[in-house]
Each structure stands twice: as structure tokens, then as C-alpha cells.
Structure 1
Amino acid sequence: MSAPRIPNQRAIIDRRALAEEIAGLAAQGGTAARPAIVAALKAALEAGRAELDRRLEEKPSAGHEITGGHSFLIDQVVRAIHDHVVADVYPTANRSTGERLALMAVGGYGRAEMAPHSDVDIAFIHPTRNAPWCEQVIEAILYYLWDLGLKVGHSSRSVDDTIRMARGDLTIRTALLESRYVWGDQPLHDEVTRRLADEVMRGTERQFVAEKLVERNARHKRMGDSRYVVEPNVKDGKGGLRDLQTLYWIGKYIHKVRVAAELVDVGLFTRAEYRTFRRAEGFMLAVRCHLHTITGRAEDRLTFDLQRAVAARMKFADRPGKSAVERFMQFYFLQAKSVGALTGVFLAHIDEQFARNRARKGLLASFTPRARALKGYRVFGGRLAAPSDDWFAQDPVRLIEVFQLAEANGLEIHPETMRQVARDAGLIRAEVRADPRANALFLDLLAGRNDPETVLRWMNEAGVFGRFVPDFARVNAQMQFDMYHHYTVDEHTIRAIGLLSRIEKGELTADHPRASALIHKVASRRVAYVAALLHDIAKGRGGDHSLLGGEVAEELCPRFGLDEGETALVAWLVRQHLLMSRTAFKRDLTDPKTIEDFVAEVQSVERLRHLLILTAVDIRAVGPGTWNSWKGQLLGDLSDAAMERLRLGHMKHGRSAMVAAKKAAVEEALGDKAGLLRLYADRFDDSYWIAEPEDIIALNIMQYGTAHEDAAKVSVHCEVYPARGATLVTVIAADNPGLFYRIAGGIHLAGANIIDARIHTTRSGWAVDNFLVQDPHGAPFSEPAQLARIEHAVAEALANRVALVPELARRPLPHSRARAFDVRPVVTFDNRASNRFTVIEVNARDRAALLNRLARALYDSGLVVFSAHITNYGERAADTFYVTETAGGKVTEPARFKAIEAALLDAASDERQAELETAGAAGPSPASE
């Protein structure tokens, strides 16, 4: 865009010396001349790249200098090749007017923004279509470039064809818009540039802008539609280089600017905004260069495994509570945020310029509609505008008021006013933060009835949000270095507030029926919104963010204007915002002790209502696909059980009454097969009747009856279970040691993920095990072939016809990038969570068949598993087991705890995974089982 200053150019490449070397080799002639010339060009190219790599290492943020240097290097190589081909390969003494050729750089090469492995995009322009000499020269130049290993994007067109195609193709028009003369016949280049402006661009400005914005929006959608996705695409992602380039294209198309600096002269940027533009652009260009250098290819995705490497190359260091990679990514997202703010102001200005032009034409050219007043502001065309340049300096509380008025009245904020807000955000100091009116306005905005999410995002990008709530500034653009969270902390928080608003408006009733009903029953809706704002406010401080966040809430809530009771409730919600999800996903909800412990912490219906609402929006705001019907069902079950306990002070029915009621319901569900219940009901103990829902018991009873008639004594049945968003896999077989880990292994071999497991043994010695499974995308298996594959794999594993260990080791990891994270396995034991069982929780890196290996370790340790609950958080797995000793009691001996822990840690370790993968690669072994 703006030509970069490239110091000491000859250290990169000395074209004169290269040209002399090539001329000398060409003069020698013979068949060896061309390979020698290619070798000379390649040596010059490699030496230039090595020099630029050295400079990048020395100045790791010098994006403009390095990308400009790579463009300069290619320029000199292309010029040397062109001169050699014209002088030595296809020389002509008297060329005709048709034997002329211009070489134009287009694309990133045209902008002089080339990363080490960027494509070389060249347009060859000649006067006429049929020019044999031009075609020969172009072909020879291309062959040299290809021999150098360059990836060349090229076009060869006459001037007339170029203009004609530019009219009908937006991509070609954009490429020509940023073209740059490289070598050859300059008048041809000048003719194309002049005709492009006169014959293509003039009068089509509005169409170009509209098409570019449609193109941009489609690209954003492909890339995640947020500039805060945690694995951003530096080139094409929202807030990335392509967004900056789009601003330049639009400015150049409309105002004919030659370099980005001229956007200031035409009033689209202030000087401060242009400096922000260049700073963000330079940083992102540097990041892109590092990505290319590390990978040795044109890589633009800042994936987890590359983030650490780029952070190290760019000299980011660890700080207390924040790692080097988190600091690097926070800085990256701050630049992306700046791009977003610039884009908003820039496009709004363009829109206003178009609107002014429209207003000057026609019968109403002299008519100027009057703006209406709103609390001193001007409202015109759906936009809220400050009446004067010193409006916010007169009363800095207006920096909050302008956003509150926009949200309450469904207005946009005028771009010039947004500029003023960003400029004057520094006026928000301690006295403004303490001002009761400012805080009341902020609370009204936060809990707004229209669209608080969008307006809070404007407020954040203008720099006002973080200044008014400094604790929020600390999580601004802060990424969470894991595969679970899709967004930065501030973006996650703002999305959670938006989801809360949508739930309150009834827009998400199908996915969140309980939250949609409860939000209208809470005593204070303000509590819900403030809790959503503060639940992650203390992330990145080096301690438990829930506890630290509770302290922040106790300070901020009174400032916002919440009373003592509301403050206490918000602080409790922030401290306990993970309680409900941890209980629902990691504990056995049919164990009465689980409900008792949860209710003992919650203590009131009001707390429970708020906690369910906060848990729902927190999970859903993590990212696409994180919320599913299985999680909704578990949270609903926990909520219903806890609500009953809180309202009545006890469970509605005693144990025997619950079993009797369940049996009656199952008998009704079985209909004409109710006789099976009379035959087999007594073989199942009370824990089975309490643990399983009526519909699953009915299926189990029917399958149990069939299994008794099967001589093989193994029955595997799969069917979709829509209520839980999963597939139910039921295995009925004669009980034997190791049955659980073999079933788990068979399910894993079929490509399924186990999300819940209940293991029962009848009084007659039969195992009745129910598993809920999903595909790798969190959806149920439903195709008959898929169900048959699971049934076959489990049957094979139980019959010992497959060597589980090597077969499972050969399966690919569900998340190959999980290796980028340091996840050390941790085992915890809890004898208080259940009256009957020892609860063991294993946290480890997620990998193929982890549950199978952990189950095998428990079996080898002499433990009996009664239920398993599986939760995944991106690269981490959290598997919980309810177990007893073989004799039936809890684990109590310290030595036993140590031995079990050692076995589980070994099963979950990376070293063990590597051993198993090696065994898998070597093929099945008879001793593998």
C-alpha cells in the first residue's frame, strides 16, 4: 500500500551483478548455459531470502520492511530474467509496435506485501492478441520462474481484453486496481491504468463497494464470523489483512488514492487512525512472514501448534498469570480489534459520502431534512450524532450515555461521533467510574431490552468499555490457550450477554426451555446480566478465576448500583458459575448424595434459577456446537431434582416408592409385553430402577428376554435416543471381569465417543450395560449401517476376536492439534460424593480410546465400575467413575489409592500413548490383550 523503506537493498540482491553473470553465461552458449543461468538465479534468490530471514529474526515485527523486501527480491529476479530472455533468447533488431510487453505485479505482489512463500502474481500485457514474439517471451520467462520453484499466478492479455474482462469480473478488476509496474514497456502499463480508471471504474463506485462488502461478509462467514476466534486466519479472517486491503481497495476505487497514506488526505482516516492502520498491518504482515518461515509453505492459519513458535520468534515472554503465547495472541487480537474499529468508521464514512451525493441530485437537491433532537444529540437517518466536537469533553459521562441511548432507541452511532468517542475515551477517569449517573446508564445498557450485545461490542471496540470497567480491560482480547474456547474472553462474555438477551426475548425457547421460563421468574433481571458480565472477569490473573471473580463482583456491583442482596447473589454466581455444569456432567445424577450436595451449596430457588440461566449462556457462548441436547438434558435433570428438593425440603418419594412408581410406569410402557416385567423385574436391584429412566428400562427388559433365548449369551442393541441427542448402545451378557473395558474398546473401534455409561449386574449374574454414544461431531449415529457397525465391533471385542490395544492405537486422534498443549494427567478420589461408591475423576489429554485404557486400568486394579461419566473440554478429557472394591465397599486404604492412581496415570500418560501407537504400527500381537 505505502511503499516500504527497504534499507541496504544490495545486501538482498545485486541485480547488476546478477545480470552481468547471466550475460556472461549466455555468451558462452551451448546446452549448459540455461542450467547455469537457472543455478545463478536460484543462488541469488536463496541468498536474498536468507538475508530477509536474518532481518526478520533481528527485527521480528518489521512486517512492512520484510514483505517489501521479498517483493523487491522478486522484482529484481523478474527483471533479470526478462532482460536475459529479450536480449539473449528471443532478440529482435527492429521490433514492431505489436512486439511490446509490460510486466505488471498484481495481488499481494502488486501491493509489495509478499511473505516468503507468497504466490508471484504477474499480468503480462501486450498490444494485440496475436503477437508470437510476446507469447515466446512470456513462455520463456514463466519457465525460468517455475524452474526457480516459484508458484506463479499469471495472465497474458491484450490491453483491450484486459479492460473488457475487468468490466465483468470483480476479481480481475481488484487485481488490476493494485497493479504495479515491474518491467518492460511502461507506456502499456500506463495505458491499462488510465483506461481502467476512465472506462471501468468511473460510475461504478457504488457497485464495487457493495460487491466487495458481500465478498467480505462471505469470507468472514467461512472463517468463523468473528475476529476473536482462537485460531485466526491472518490473511482471510475477520480483522485480518484482507479486511485492511478491502479498505484500501475501496478508498482507491472511489478516491483514486495511490497509497494508503492518502486515505488521510481524502478524509477517510484521521492521522491517528492511519497510524493504527499501519501498526496493525505491519504486525500482521510480520506474523504471516513468521508463519511462512516456520512451516516452509504459504500458511496463513495461526493454529495452536504454530502460536507458540510465532510467539517465541516475536520475542514474547511469560509474565505472572499469562504465558508468552497468551500475551502474543492478546496483542494479535488487539490489532484485529483495531481493524474492526477502523472498518466500522471507514465504511460508515463511505456510506455517508454516497448518501450526500444522492441528496444533491434530483428535485430535492436543495432540501435538507431536519434532524430530531434526543437528549441534546442529533438523530438523522437512524444515526445518533454528537452536536459538537467538544460534546464529550463538556461531560465525559456522555461517553456512556451515547451507547445507552443507541441501545434503548435502536439507533446506530454516527461515524464521526464514534471517532470522537474513540478519541475522547481517555476522559473516563476515576470520577466518571464513580459517577452514579454513569453507572446507572451502563447498567441500563448492559440489561437493555433491544440489542445489548451489538452496542457493547461497539463500546468495546471504541475503547470505552475497558476504561469504564478496568477489570474488563484486563480480559480484553485475552485468548484462552485451549481447544475448548473458540473466542477471546471479552468476545465470549459479550456473546453470553447477547444469548441472555435472546433467551429473555423468547428466541431460544426450543434449545433452552427452562432458562427461557426462569428468566421471567427471577427477582432481579439485573443480577442475571451483571453475572454474565463478570463470570470470567478474573481470568488470566494466576489463580482460581471463579474465586477472584467473586471478589471483583463484590467491588463492582455496589458501584453499578446493585443493592446488598443483589451484590451477594452476583458474587455467589460468579464463584459458583461452574458448579452446575461440573455436577451435571461429572456426577451420577441418580445418586441421592449428588443432589443433596448440590442443594446444600445452592440453598435457594432464586440461586438455582440464576445458576441454570448463567450455565446455559456460558456453555453456549463458548463456541459453535458446544451446546447440545445431551448437555441440556443433564442440566435439566439436575435442575428438576434440585428444585424438587428445595421446594419440598426432601425428595418427593422414598426409595421403595420410587421403585414401585418406576415399575408401574414401565409396565404401562411395555403394553402387551408387560408379562416380561413380571418374569424379570425381581432380578434387577433397586439401584437399577432408580438409575435408569422408564423408556430405557422397557427396552432393557425386552432385550433381556431375548438374550435369555440366545445361546451365545451376548446381545448388543443400538438405536437413536433423541431425548439425549445420542445413540443408546445396550449390551446384555453373562457378567465377567473386564466386560466394561472390552465394550468401551469395541465402541471406540466403531468410531463412536462414549458420553455416559451405566453398568448393572442382575441378581442372576447378567450384565446390563447402557452406553450413550455420539459421533466425533457430537451428534447421534442414526444410519442403519452405522448402528450395525457399532453392534458388530462390540460383539467382536466381547468375543475376543480383535486385538483391542493395537487396533485402537492405530485409530487417528480426534484432535491431532491436541499435542500442542501440555495436559498433565491428574487423578482425584472422593469418598464423600456418594454414600455407596468411591468417585474417581481422571483429567487427561483427550486421545483415541482413553476410556478403554482407563477402564482396563481399573479392572487390573481390582475395582468394579458402576457408572462412568465422560466430559470433553477441547483437548482435555474429564472421565469420572463410580467404583467399589470387588467385595463391594469403598476404597479406603491409602496404599490402594496410590496404586490405583499410578495405574490410571500410566494409562493416561503421553508415554503410554506413544508405546501403544508403536505397538499398533507393528501390527497385532497375540499378547496384546
Structure 2
Amino acid sequence: MNAPAISIDGLRDAIATTREQLVHGGEALRAAYEAHPRTATVLKGRARMVDEAIVRLWQSCGLPAQAALVAVGGYGRGELFPCSDVDLLVLLPAPAGADLQARLSTLVGALWDVGLEIGHSVRTPDECLDAAAQDITVQTNLLEARLLTGNADLFDEFSARYREMLDVRAFFKAKQLEQEQRYARYNDTPYSLEPNCKESPGGLRDLQMLGWIARAAGLGRNWRELARRRLITGEEAADLRSVERFLQHLRIRLHYLTRRSEDRLLFDHQEKLARIMGIEATAAKRASEVLMQRYYLTAKKVTQINTILLQNYGTEIFDDRGGPAIVINPHFQAVRELLDVRHEQVFEQHPSALLECFLILQQRSELKGMTARTLRALWLARKRINAAFRADPANRALFLQILQQKRGIVHEFRRMNQYGVLGHYLPAWRRIVGQMQHDLFHAYTVDQHIMMVLRNVRRFTMGEHAHEYPLMTRLILAFERHWLLYAAALFHDIAKGRGGDHSRLGMEDAREFCEQHGLSAEDTGLVVWLVEHHLTMSHVAQKEDTSDPDVVRRFADIVGDERRLTALYLLTHADIRGTSPKVWNGWKGKLLEDLFFATQRLLRGATPQQALGLDDRLEDARNMLRFYGLRPGVEDALWEQLDAVYFMRHSAEEIAWHTRVLYYRTEADEAVVKARVAEEEDGVQVMVFTRDQADLFVRLTGFFGRLGFSILDAKVHTTRHGYALDSFMLQSAGPDTNYRDVVTLIEHELAQRLNRPDAPIERPADGRLSRQVKHFPITPQVSIRADEAGRHHILSLTAADRPGLLFGVAEVLARHGINVQTAKIATLGERVEDTFLLSGGGLSQEAQVVRVERELLDRLHV
């Protein structure tokens, strides 16, 4: 391929001119868009501007006429977002020689020099087709290829060959699989609090995929053409144009705001985006919450129409795989393993079919979903679920049947939520659809969190998941009418966002539902009680001293009987796990389990001491020591120095572990530190035994903080002969920490430091607040009050989590001579709710309590 020599000066001038034009042109596009926000102004305008720039540089680099420069991907479609990459294909009739390779390298360098983010490939038609056959992404990018300049004949020949090799059926299946994988990557939900407006379910990628399949199958090039072919209705086409524009505006604004290709709706941007888009706060919601609720409703509509259109595509593309309809009943039939209405007016003429269809899907495992026309009819008829519908005993019975089925409960409730049926049947539900939760604890909107809790309770009943939490499975399978837990799960957070105590408000909704649906007084009482107390067990387990018999007794008084205890335990477990992947850990599970068994024993007639299992615990610990080959009586020297509080606060296994380490050195001159990986390998347990010394708790928190560990639990104990016997549960902030690697480090370094009590206290590095906390700040709260026995004081604090926080608290307490007996550290996402049992320091004097509270608040404010 012969081509003229490149003029270095001419190329340099072209680069300078092009860069200036792109900068000024980009500013003009932004100004025009902000004056009159139209998506085409930016998307089409930037594509045209980049076309001119690339063609100019192509010519300046003297590329031969035999080559073709092709726009692919979104750029091939003639649309470019403000900071999107520019995808190019250089099409050659034959592999490039050295001169052409040099020119192409010069071109690519020039494109980067003018400020374009370039993705490029250089291929012959054969190479392109081979790559497309191997990679669905390449095949998709080539689908919208557009010639920019160069050899038109070569491009036309390639385009024709590409169309010939395109297997529409294989393409359709591949894009469906690709969507499923993408959904799995984003947890199958568009309702995370920081969704990706391009890639998350319900985002722009879903709409682009629908366009790609339609183009590949020759079904249409826009929503209007699809409506003409009756693949969607005119109303759906209008909806698609509307939601597409909204998502495009959102992404354009996000690019302009961040000045980069950012597609995540992070907390950092939500309030600013709302303001830029002219969205204002309401009396009950921040502007960002209004924006995000609109986004979630948009994403919901996208996923609805996506499901309908994919089914219709499938019918067109696989027109030979249909079979005769199998009649199910007067209202429904089965078509290609999908539930289908027998005629378009089924829901209009028989409104109860709006619930019946979900029940049929549960009862007939061969059905994989609903046909497109059924889904469309369902969506259009949802408003027929009104007060008269809800009052109909037959419909109430249908709803209860759906709740009581052996399979498909979570699938069908999610489908009912997706298509608006659940919100119309339970009016209170409609208010929580797409509602954000800015407590930095929940990772999902309220309705999706409830669906996660329902899923978790449901999984307890399923044999294939029994290995995950075998105790939960055993308890729920022995629980009569366990579907009542599903009802409690549906209502436990249904009153979120109304103001006031959502537990109290939600129990009224639950009571109304139960009474209207004919539940017995006993079952109604259980569901209502669970909604009222769904936070109680987690509060007691994580914030109170459950080794105190009075704490367990008070909790048992609230529970009342073993059936309620079991129900609350199951719901609490499911609720915590349904908030965020970061919140649940084995330590929290152990706290709940210990409280459950202690309360169960108390309810079965044991004394408070027996309920805590002190005698059994000591006997179990002795048996473990014998198992390890230690002769009877070796534990006596150590145990004589320990009081009942120590034995109540530690499990039999922990007591045996401490004893094996310390039985022969109860008068050790040097510190003894032992560490081990916790169960499920999600943390490290550390035991410290040393002569009591000033500021010990401060030193320990400083050391752990410097290593980057969070303290989940601390049990601080002083023996009768003046030794500190403290134990800690630690967890790393990093997700990939190998705890086995740090055990020896902790044992060696911590012992060395404790053996130098006069050395300066190590201060952990002050950490920065997370970006979530910056945008949704938490007002610190501190409370110090005497416990019921009057022997100790309880410090409760709430604050935004950050490295070094616990060290700061310990430092204030040490300065006032206050001793920490136990510490329960509850980290809920970005929020900490910590509880300490304190003694000493003049806390019996009110003025001293006020001073300490004030200093702690000053330390917690950021």
C-alpha cells in the first residue's frame, strides 16, 4: 500500500487545531445542553465532532486509500456520551506492513494527544470474522459498524460477509446469557443504593441489548419500528423512549459532573445530580432520595419491558419451537413452558386471576415464567386490585395460599412486586417501593431488603441449603405453620419512612392484615409481636451483657414462650443477613445463638444460673482439658483466681483454651499473648494475660488499631491476684486478609510491648471517614447510666465508624480512671453502636458523668 510521506509539521498543526476544536466544541455542546437539555445535542453532537477530528488526523497521517476507518460499538451507532471511549476498527485488505504499522501507531498517538480515549483494533475482514466468531463482544461491536473514511468497497464487502456469518439464534442466546451474567455481577437487582446506571439491571445496557438483538434479527432499528411489528405496544414504545431519555440524561449529567466516564450513582454525586436536574426535596425526602426513587421506578420499568420484549423476540427468532397450548383451567394455559392467559381479557373479566396466576406458577414446577402477553396484561390490569378486590374473601384466601406454598414463594413475591401487584394488594407496601435507607447499614431499598429477608427465611426450610445454617433448618422444620414467619418478614419494615417507630407502626399494619385474612388470635398475636420486636434480640445480643442472668431474664420475660423465641431467633438471623453482605459474620451468629439457648433453658424452667449453663460449662471445659491429656486438677490453680463473672462471659471452649495456655504459669512475670483464627476464619481471637498495668486497655486498642484491626468484642477481666485476663475478637477491614499469617505477629509483637509498660502508648493512625459518611453524616450520641444492680455503669455510644475511634474512647476513659469490664462493638456498615460496662472513675457522681460524656462527644465529632 503506497501512501505519501507524513508531514511532521502538518501533523503537529493538525493535532493542535483538532485539540482546540474538540475543547471548544465540547464546551459549546455542554453550554447548549445546559441551556436546552436534549440528549441528541450531546450524543449526536459529540459523535459528529469526533468524526471530523478523527478523519482530519487520518488524512494528516497519510493512511492509504485501500484501508477503511470504521466506527464500532456505541460510537458506530452515532452516539457518544461526554467522556465515553471511542472505539475504532482499521479494516485492511491484507496484513499491515512495517510502513503502515508505523503510520497507524502515529495515528493512535495523535488521537490520544488530542484528548480522545481510544479503543482500537487493526484487522483484515477474515481476522474480524474470526474474532467475531470467538467473542460475542466483538460480534456485538461490529453489528453497528459505520464507515468514517477510506475504502468503501472493502467495508461493504466486509459488512455483507458479517451479515452472512451472523447466526441470529446463537446471537440471541449469547446476549441472554450475557445479560444473566451481568445481572449476577450486580446481585440481580437494580435497587442497590449506589447502582450503575449503565450496567446494573434496568440500566442503559438493557436497552442497548434489546436494540442489538432487534438489529441482528432485522426486527427494527428503533422502538417505533418494534411497535409497528407489534412486538411492543405503542404505550410501551413511548415508555421506552421516556426511560431511555431519563437514563441518558442521568449519564450525561454524571459525566459532566465528574469529568470522567463515571456511571455509578455514588452517594457523593446523588445530591448534586438532583440539584443539577432541578429535583427538589420534599417534606419527607431529600432531593437525592426523590431522584433515586425515580431512578428505581425507571429501572423497574426497563426490566419489565425487557422481559416482555425478549420473550417476543424469542417467538419471532425461534418460530419453529412452539407447540400446542396445554389448557390448565378456564383462565390459563401453558405455552412453551410459560403461563399464558387464554384470552386478552382474562384479568378484566376475572380480576381474581391477578393472584391466581402466581399460585399456578408455584404449583406447576414445569412452568418457567409468564408469556409476554400475560405479563403485559398483568401490568395493565394491576389497578383493578382496589378496596373491593382486597375485601373479597376469595382473593384473601388466594393471597394466603401463595404465602403457604411449598415452593416458589420468593420468586412469585418478587414477581408480584415487580409488576405492581403486591403494592396494590398491600397499599402500605407501595410506599416503600424504591425507598432508600440512609442508615449506612442497609445496602438495599426497603422493599428489596424485605425480599432478601423473605428469601433468607425461606432458605432455612430448604434441604439444599441446610448445610449453611443447620440449626436454623432444624428449628424451622419443627416450627408449626412456619409460613407465619413469611408474613412477619413482609411486614417487619413496611412502615419505614413514615416517621416515628416503624416497629410500632408496622405492627398495626400486620394486625390489620392478619385479622382481615382470618388468622387465629394466636397466629395474629405471633406475627404482630414479631413485627413489634424484630429488633429486640439483635439489640440484646449485640449491646447488652448476656452473661448477666438479669439480662437474660428480662429478655425471657419479653419473649414469654419458646415458640416466640424460636420465631424471633429465625427472623432476627434472616433480617441481619438481609441488610448487607458486610454486616453478618460468625461472631454475630454466635452472640444470637448463645442468647437463644440461654433463654430457651430459662423458659424450660432452669434457674438463671442454670440457664447460663455455668455448671455445665465448667464440666465441659474439664472434659476438654482431659481430652488434651491434662490430668485432673491442673486447672485448679488458675480457676481459684477467677470469679463467676469470668466463667459466665466465656464459653467452655474458651475457658479450656485459656486454661491450657495458663495453667502452669499463673504467676507469670512476663505477658502471655496467644492468638488463633476464629471459627469460619472470619477473624482472630486474642487472649492477653499480664500483671495489671495502667492504661492497659488503651495500649491494647492502640496496638490492634495500628495493625488495622477492628475490635468486635472485648472481655476485660482482673483476677483475684492482680492479673489482667483479657480476650478480644478482631476482624480486619481488608476483605482478603489471611488471618493465619497474622497470628504469630500478634503474639510476638504484643507480648514485647506489654513487657515494656513504661514505653509510650502507640497511637493508631487517624483514618479518614468513608465517603458514605461524608454525605450522610451520623450525629454522635453518648449515654452513661447505672445498671439495674447499681454495681456498674453502662456506656452506650453511636458514631460514624473510622479507624482509631475505639482508641480515642479508651483514652478518654483511662484519663478519668475508668475501668472497662466488657466492650461490645457493633459495627453496622459505616455506623458503630458500641456498649461498654464500666466501673470506677467516680461515675457515681453526676457531674463526673457529664464531664466524661462531654469529652467523649468532643472526641467522636468529626
Match of 1:9 in 2: none
One of 51, 58, 76 as aligned partner of 1:75: 51
Relative to structure 1, the CA distance from residue 808 to residue 281 in structure 2 (aligned partners, 3 Å threshold; closer, same or farther) is same
Structure 2 letter corresponding to 1:306: H
- 1:231 equivalent in structure 2: 194
Q: In the alignment, does 2:142 pair up with 1:176?
A: yes
In structure 2, the partner of 1:900 is: 852
The residue that corresponds to 1:516 in the other structure is 473
Q: How high is the TM-score relative to the length of structure 1? A: 0.86
Bigger drift between 664-673 and 150-159 goes to 664-673
Aligned in 2, Cα 1:728/1:129: closer, same or farther, shift over 3 Å? closer
What pairs up with 1:584-623 in 2 under 5 angstroms?
Answer: 584-623=541-580
| In the alignment, structure 1 residue 549 sits paired with structure 2 residue 506 | yes
Report the CA distance shift for 1:50/1:560 in structure 2 as closer, same or farther (over 3 A). farther
Q: Alignment partner of 1:124: what SS?
A: strand
Shift of 1:706: 4.6
Q: 1:69 to 1:538 in 2, by over 3 A?
A: farther
Partner of 1:404: 359
Hey, what's the Cα distance between the residues in 2 that align with 1:789 and 1:525? 48
Which of 699, 704, 715 aligns to 1:747? It is 704
1:696 aligns with 2:654: yes
Q: How does 1:426-441 map to 2 (within 5 A)?
A: 426-441=383-398
Q: Within 1, Cα distance between the matches of 2:705 and 2:203?
A: 39
- What is the match of residue 450 of structure 1? 407
1:561 aligns with 2:518: yes
Matched, 1:384 2:339: yes
Bigger shift: residues 849-858 or 228-237:
228-237
1:804-823 maps to which residues of 2 (within 5 A)? 806-809=763-766, 815=770, 817-823=772-778
Alignment of 1:776-815 (within 5 A): 776=733, 782-783=739-740, 785-798=741-754, 799=756, 806-809=763-766, 815=770
Counterpart of 1:151 (choices 93, 100, 117) is 117
Aligned to 1:648, what secondary structure does the other structure show? coil
Does the CA contact (< 8 Å) of 2:359 and 2:402 recur in 1? yes
CA deviation map 1:128-164 (0-9, x unaligned): 5468997687556444322211111123334454345
Pairwise CA distance, 1:787: 0.2
Indicate yes or no: 2:165 matched with 1:200.
Answer: yes
Distance 1:742 1:375, change over 3 A: farther
In structure 1, C-alpha distance between the alignment counterparts of 2:185 and 2:439, rounded to whole Å: 21
Which secondary structure state, in structure 2, belongs to the residue aligned with residue 733 of structure 1?
strand
Shift of 1:761: 0.5
- Say whether the 8 Å CA contact 2:703–2:762 is kept in structure 1: no
**SS across alignment from 1:541:** coil
Q: Aligned partners of 1:776 and 1:136: how far apart in 2?
A: 49
CA distance in 1, matches of 2:370, 2:698: 60
Letter in 2 for 1:698: A
Whether contact under 8 Å (1:373, 1:379) holds in the other structure is: yes
Aligned pair partner of 1:99 in 34, 59, 65: 65
1:66-87 Cα offsets, whole Å, 9 max, x none, are 32332232223334445x53xx
Deviation at 1:534, TM superposition (A): 0.8
Structure 1 residue 41 corresponds to structure 2 residue 18: yes
| Matched letter for residue 792 of structure 1 | H
1:660-671 to 2 correspondences below 5 Å? 662-671=617-626
In the alignment, is residue 635 of structure 1 matched against residue 592 of structure 2? yes
1:51 aligns with 2:17: no
Judge conservation of contact 1:255–1:266 (CA < 8 Å) in 2: no
Segment of structure 1 superposing worse, 44-53 or 812-821: 812-821
Q: CA deviation at 1:318?
A: 2.2
Report Cα offsets for 1:261-320 as digits up to 9, x if no partner.
322233332222222222222222222222222222222222222333323322332223
Q: Which amino acid aligns with 1:278?
A: R
Q: Is the 8 A contact 1:720 1:780 kept in 2?
A: no
Shift of 1:721: 3.6
Q: Deviations over 1:349-372 (max 9, x none)?
A: 23333443245xxxxxxxx53513
Q: Which amino acid aligns with 2:860?
A: A
Tell me how far apart the structure 1 counterparts of residues 301 and 438 of structure 2 sit (CA, whole Å).
Answer: 22
Aligned to 2:691: 734
Q: Which structure 2 residues correspond to residues 115-130 of structure 1 after superposition, within 5 A?
A: 115-129=81-95
Gaps of 5+ in 1: 1-28, 92-97, 360-367, 911-929
Change in 2 beyond 3 A, CA 1:777/1:859: same
Q: CA deviation at 1:455?
A: 1.4
Gap change, CA 1:598 and 1:845, over 3 Å in 2: same
Deviation at residue 882 of structure 1 after TM alignment: 0.6
Matched position secondary structure for 1:519: helix
Structure 1 residue 437, shift from structure 2 partner: 1.6
Alpha-carbon deviation of 1:191? 3.5
Map of 1:679 onto structure 2: 637
| Aligned mates of 2:694, 2:96 — CA distance in 1 | 82
Label 1:67 to 1:177 Cα distance change in 2 as closer, same or farther (>3 A): same
Please report how far the alpha carbon of residue 394 of structure 1 lies from its aligned counterpart in structure 2 after TM superposition. 0.6
Residues 22-58 of structure 1, C-alpha deviation per residue, up to 9 Å, x if partnerless?
xxxxxxx997654444333222211222233334444
Task: State the Cα distance separating 1:777 from its structure 2 match.
Answer: 5.7
Q: 1:892 to 1:279 in 2, by over 3 A?
A: farther
RMSD (Å) for aligned C-alpha atoms: 2.9
2:374 paired with 1:417: yes
CA distance, structure 2, for counterparts of residue 618 and residue 660 of structure 1? 33
> Distance between the aligned counterparts of 1:41 and 1:355, measured in 2?
49
Distance in 2 between the 1:73 and 1:804 partners?
Answer: 62
Residue of structure 1 in register with 2:221 after alignment: 258
Whether the 8 Å CA contact 1:745–1:852 is kept in 2: the answer is: yes
How far is 1:752 from its partner? 2.3
Identity of aligned residues (%): 32
Between the aligned partners of 1:272 and 1:194, the Cα distance in structure 2 is 35
C-alpha change, 1:136 and 1:473, in structure 2 (3 Å) is same
Maintained 8 Å contact 1:105/1:122: yes
TM-score, with length taken from structure 2: 0.92
Matched, 1:211 2:174: yes
Alpha-carbon distance between aligned partners in 2 of 1:450 and 1:150, rounded to the nearest angstrom: 53
2:638/2:666 contact within 8 Å kept: no
In structure 2, C-alpha distance between the alignment counterparts of 1:99 and 1:36, rounded to whole Å:
22
Structure 2 equivalent of residue 878 of structure 1: 833
Contact 1:746–1:795 (Cα < 8 Å) also in 2: no
Are residues 1:318 and 2:270 paired? no
Counterparts of 1:351-370 in structure 2, within 5 Å, are 351-358=314-321, 369-370=324-325
Whether the 8 Å contact between 1:63 and 1:287 is mirrored in structure 2 is no
SS in 2 for 1:808: coil
Distance 1:752 1:66 in 2: 48
Where in structure 2 are the equivalents of 1:906-925 lying within 5 Å?
A: 906-910=858-862
Give the AA of the match of 1:788.
T
- Tell me how far apart the structure 1 counterparts of residues 611 and 9 of structure 2 sit (CA, whole Å): 96
Gaps of 5+ in 2: 1-5
Which among 311, 315, 329 is matched to residue 348 of structure 1?
Answer: 311
Aligned partner (choices 28, 35, 42) of residue 66 of structure 1: 42
Q: How much does 1:750 deviate?
A: 2.4
Per the alignment, in what secondary structure is the counterpart of residue 610 of structure 2? coil
In structure 1, the residue matched to 2:418 is 461
Aligned equivalents of 1:245 and 1:654: distance in 2? 61
Question: Residue 291 of structure 1 aligns to a residue in which SS?
Answer: helix
Checking the alignment, whether the CA contact within 8 Å between 1:746 and 1:796 is kept in structure 2 is: no
Amino acid aligned to 1:845 = A
Q: Which amino acid aligns with 1:555?
A: E
Match for residue 535 of structure 1 among 482, 492, 499: 492
Q: Which amino acid aligns with 1:145?
A: L
Is the contact made by 1:725 and 1:779 (CA closer than 8 Å) also made in structure 2? no
